[in-house]
Amino acid sequence: MLRIGLTGGIGSGKSTVAGLLAARGAHVVDADRIAREVLEPGTPGLAAVVEAFGAGVLTPEGTLDRPALAAIVFADPAARARLDGIVHPLVRARAAELVAEAPQDAVVVQDVPLLVETGQSARYDLVLVVEADLDTRLARLAQRGVAEDDARARIAAQATDEQRRAVADVVLDNSGPLTGLETQVDRFWTERVAPALR
């Protein structure tokens, strides 16, 4: 098994790179998706969040009211830490299960938005960082409906490109068109992934 940690700031293109790697046969474990799964109705994760923050974080249907929870943790760093303390261990445990279920000869790509912030680089054989210019990221996020102020605030709260570069084995530049990104992913696969599998 070759374990690749994929990271980058919001809107940099992590999901896009994960998709390109999946198309080449990689087995993708997506932290954002797991973070949603561990808070679905009926999970111990959701029960713990309600215990911590009250039934006000539930919709009338009993699902997590994400805007209500976001409003609480946005205003209160201690609440944010408490939420992270519930969610992060659940995500790590579920990710570890999914990795353990992958075939022994698999290339496992873990999309971990906060890989650098949470000091997890040593867990991977290769750390792959995707970058794009700030303006490009803001424009792509805007197309997805993320307001510029919100995007800037989230970017400011994340690690910097320099901090991510410091732990990267390979940096992909996603400021240009998709074809350019595809070429870089091809090169990464040929030069770094294929030799490691031999």
Would you tell me which residues interact with ligand ATP (CB under 6 A)? 8, 10-16, 113, 140, 144, 174, 177-178, 181
Nearest CA among 193, 187, 156 for reference residue 172: 187
83 alpha carbon, distance to own chain's centre: 17
Binding site as annotated, residues:
11-16
State in angstroms the smallest separation of the CB of 67 from ligand ATP: 17
State in angstroms the smallest separation of the CB of 195 from ligand ATP: 26
Which residue's structure tokens are 């959701």?
46
Q: Between 48 and 126, whose beta carbon lies closer to ligand ATP?
A: 126
Binding site as annotated, residues for ATP:
11-16
Helices in the chain by DSSP H: which ranges?
14-23, 31-37, 44-53, 66-74, 77-101, 134-143, 148-157, 161-167, 178-188, 194-197
Which amino acid, residue 76? D
State in angstroms the smallest separation of the CB of 58 from ligand ATP: 25
Q: Between 61 and 162, whose beta carbon lies closer to ligand ATP?
A: 162
Beta bridge partners of 107: 2
State in angstroms the smallest separation of the CB of 174 from ligand ATP: 5
DSSP sequence for 164-195: HHHH-SEEEE-SS-HHHHHHHHHHHIIIIIHH
State in angstroms the smallest separation of the CB of 178 from ligand ATP: 4
Q: Between 48 and 158, whose beta carbon lies closer to ligand ATP?
A: 158
Q: Between 33 and 123, whose beta carbon lies closer to ligand ATP?
A: 33
Q: Between 60 and 177, whose beta carbon lies closer to ligand ATP?
A: 177
Non-local (6+) Cβ contacts of 104 within 8 A are 1
